[in-house]
Amino acid sequence: MQQADVRPLWQRGLWAALAGALHAGSLSPWAAGVHAALPYALQTLAFAGLVMLLSATRRPRDGALLAWVYGSVWLIGATGWMFVSLHRFGGLPAWLAALAVYLLCVALSLYLAVAGWAWARWRTGLALPDAVLLAAVWLLAELARAYLFTGFPWGASGYGLLDSPFVALAPWVGVYGMGAIWAAGVAVICLLARQTGWLWRSLIVLGTASLGLLGPVRGPQFTEPHGAPLRVSLLQGNVPQDEKFVPTYQGAMLAWHAQQLLAADADLVVAPETAIPLLPSQLPNGYWEGLVSAFAADGGRHALIGLPLGDFEQGYTNSVAGLSAQTAAQPEGFYRYDKHHLVPFGEFIPWGFRWFVNLMNIPLGDFARGPLAAPSFQVGVQRVAPTICYEDLFGEEIAARFRRPETTPTILANLSNLAWFGESVAIHQHLQIARLRSLEFQLPTVRATNTGATVVIDHLGVVRAALPANERGVLHGDVQGRAGVTPFARWAGAWGLLPLLLAALVGVAGVACWRRVAGARAATGAIPH
């Protein structure tokens, strides 16, 4: 093994914090705006720094601390926009909102701390098995963050690999598999580089970070064009969050959305999440009935509209209503999609945290949960699969809609409202998430949002049309639906994240067995030690 790092732990902790800040910076719009390869380069340099720190650490507790510091700074930098919703719109004092964000991020980073401890404890001193072990525990940490306590996978490492050669892996292994394979590759290069002098070591790491300059690599196409392109109109109301639920402002907002919905000359018009922020029974007389009847009378036009549905006695849902001549014959008079993956504190209140929610001035409540594998909205021959805001972080849940080949979606549609987070990096990061979903399923995505990013994304994850963020407008574009099922959609639809979990456990177990066999041989003199 290489010589241990003799610097004080606090100095190494500062370097871990710097590396974590670089990782957070890779998820910023600034990095993507400078050059498409910069996010990959920053994230790779950040992770390489962590690998170098961990590889020079001998005590498992030091490895845990360094990984925990790295993860905490990474997540605080990547998700600090939550402060805006808690303080500006929730009314929490600034210190309490900042403390809540800090505690959440450091708690979620405990998964990475366990990974750092495990790697420092079980590594072998050889580059290849140690890289496999590091990738396995890194994957386990990301899966834990994605799954436990309903999951909060925002900022996962796979999103930093957009526009790099690693996107070819997306339809095969999804975002977490991409992150694990990337981690293994960077780790083996860094561990081998530690055997060289500092100059060569630096050049090797910098060369690894520059691989993003190669750009995306396109692998096999598992989907093919399906039917004629749809003409779409995507609404972006740019309604301030502090006006959305205030009655004195709602009249103008309702009028603008109704006007755009009725005037749109498109096959499909989409209004964002809670574009109509009231239950149908709370709307002005004739408002909802007029929209339903207008689309029922026009057989060529369709609409997806975000609004709450239900009532206060039976419960209510965060929903999407689909309007068309075909859906007018359904019992409710429209297609209905109810959000399945709800946001903790925003759409349901975890047990024991009612006191925290009571401190905020936000119209929160416990929404009912919709089905996992909801049917798509039919627009001609196209099957449009809605998701609502935060739901599109969970590609493995969207994959459940691909279990039956005859009903698989041909277009993904995300309806969002990120006005809760102001003019923050959340808009850019959510766009990265949507692009990755298109890559995983090789399907186009349309996004109608209140403040951005309202975009049309093709099946290769490329943004084909977009509105400027934080401006009111309507985006018009064409979307080519596609039919087919990617390997990721096939296995994730059947088993969720279980195959990745098993792969990570096999990696850990394989290295553990190798250690035991090598140790036994060394003890008997079969191999030098």
Distance of CA 71 to the CA centre of its chain: 17
Contacts of 517 by beta carbon, 8 Å cutoff, 6+ apart: none
Alpha-carbon distance 356 to 362, whole Å?
12
Candidate list 105, 142, 244, 389, residue with the active-site label: 389
Distance CA 433, CA 410 (A): 18
Contact indicator for 389, 452 with CB cutoff of 8 Å: no
Q: Which residue has the tokens 């698989």?
A: 408
Q: What is the b/e burial string over 413-450, where b = at least 16 CB atoms within 10 angstroms of the residue's CB?
A: bbbbbbbbbbebbbbbbbbbbbbbbbbbbbbbbbbbbb
Degrees (nearest 5) of the Cα angle 138, 139, 141?
65
Residue type, 190: C
244 is catalytic: no
Residue in the structure block whose two tokens are 């890559």:
439
Q: Which whole-number Å values give the CA distances from 195 to 2, 125, 362, 492, in the listed order?
A: 8, 11, 56, 39
Which of the following is catalytic: 244, 339, 391, 396? Answer: 339
389 as an active site residue: the answer is yes
Helix (H), strand (E), coil (C) string for 281-332: HHCCCCHHHHHHHHHHCCCCCEEEEEEEEEECCCEEEEEEEEECCCHHHCCC
Contact between 171 and 436 under an 8 Å Cβ cutoff? The reply is no
Catalytic position from the list 273, 391, 397, 440: 273
- Concerning whether 513 is annotated as a catalytic residue, the answer is no
Catalytic residues: 273, 339, 389
